[in-house]
């Protein structure tokens, strides 16, 4: 059963790679054969076997020999692990969406509205409207004060969707974890000379990672939270 779940997750991850590549480029993702992004050669089915094809081709295109991004097998493996270890079918759906959002925002600094809407709809299973409004409102204030320099408006919408799904106190804790990790990442990049004070960070990616962490470790995180505030 675990092997079948992992295999299903790999193939879903392969489709996620299509979404990650095509949606930011406004390309059709339902129809159309997959092509090499370098030479545009049409890829055969045996070039698209999740992880296996990457290994057999040693990470290079069969036709032009250009290097294939490690992102492709990484997303497929992450999707496979999500299918195996996620606590519920709802969690699988949410985590897969967060995976797509994380990669797209990391690569393009955008968060497609379509995925935020789907995430919000999944949150309607157990809606937490006030937490959603509070999370989105907090980020809206940051966006307005900074005039979009600190965070993008897509982050505002994503924070609202996560608040709707997680509720209180998990929703605000997701935001807190993302802010802390963003501060640490920014400081680290500054020290290495890889960024400057105006460098834009993919905050949607950090929100997605924080939300995924909460999905898997919600109980221990909440225990720490309650023990801290009960002191």
Q: Answer yes or no: are the C-beta atoms of 115 and 159 closer than 8 Å.
A: no
Local confidence band at 79 (pLDDT 50, 70, 90 cut-offs) = very high
Q: How far apart are CA 220 and CA 217, in angstroms?
A: 6
What integer pLDDT is reported at residue 149 of this predicted model?
74
For residues 72-87, give the mean pLDDT.
95
Q: Quick one: pLDDT at residue 190?
A: 82
Domain ranges, ordered by start, for the chain: 1-85, 110-231
Average pLDDT score, the chain: 87
CA distance 111 to 160: 13
Lowest mean pLDDT among 15-24, 112-121, 149-158, 173-182: 149-158
pLDDT at 65 over 60: yes
Higher pLDDT, 177 or 40: 177
Distance separating alpha carbons of residues 16 and 107, to the nearest angstrom: 14
Q: Is residue 90 within 8 Å of 218, Cβ to Cβ?
A: no
Give the pLDDT score at 230.
62
C-alpha span between 204 and 206 (Å, rounded) = 5
pLDDT recorded at residue 142: 81
Rounded distance, CA 214 to CA 174, Å?
Answer: 7
């Amino acid at each position: 059963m675990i092997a079948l779940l992992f295999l299903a997750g790999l193939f879903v991850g392969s489709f996620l790679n299509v979404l990650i590549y095509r949606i930011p480029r406004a390309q059709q993702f339902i129809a159309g054969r997959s092509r090499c992004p370098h030479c545009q050669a049409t890829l055969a089915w045996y070039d698209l076997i999740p992880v296996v094809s990457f290994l057999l081709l040693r990470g290079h295109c069969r036709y032009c020999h250009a290097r294939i991004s490690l992102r492709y097998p990484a997303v497929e493996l992450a999707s496979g692990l999500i299918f195996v270890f996620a606590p519920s079918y709802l969690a699988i759906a949410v985590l897969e969406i967060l995976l797509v959002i994380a990669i797209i925002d990391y690569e393009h600094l955008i968060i497609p509205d379509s995925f935020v809407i789907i995430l919000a709809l999944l949150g309607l299973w157990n809606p937490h409207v006030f937490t959603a409004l509070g999370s989105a409102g907090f980020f809206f204030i940051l966006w307005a004060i900074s005039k979009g320099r600190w965070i993008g408006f897509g982050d505002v919408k994503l924070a609202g969707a996560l608040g709707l799904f997680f509720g209180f106190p998990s929703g605000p804790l997701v935001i807190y974890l993302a802010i802390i990790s963003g501060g640490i990442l920014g400081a680290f990049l500054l020290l290495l000379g890889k960024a400057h004070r105006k460098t834009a960070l993919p905050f949607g990616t950090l929100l997605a990672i924080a939300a995924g962490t909460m999905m898997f470790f919600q109980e221990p995180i909440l225990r720490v939270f309650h023990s801290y505030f009960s002191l």
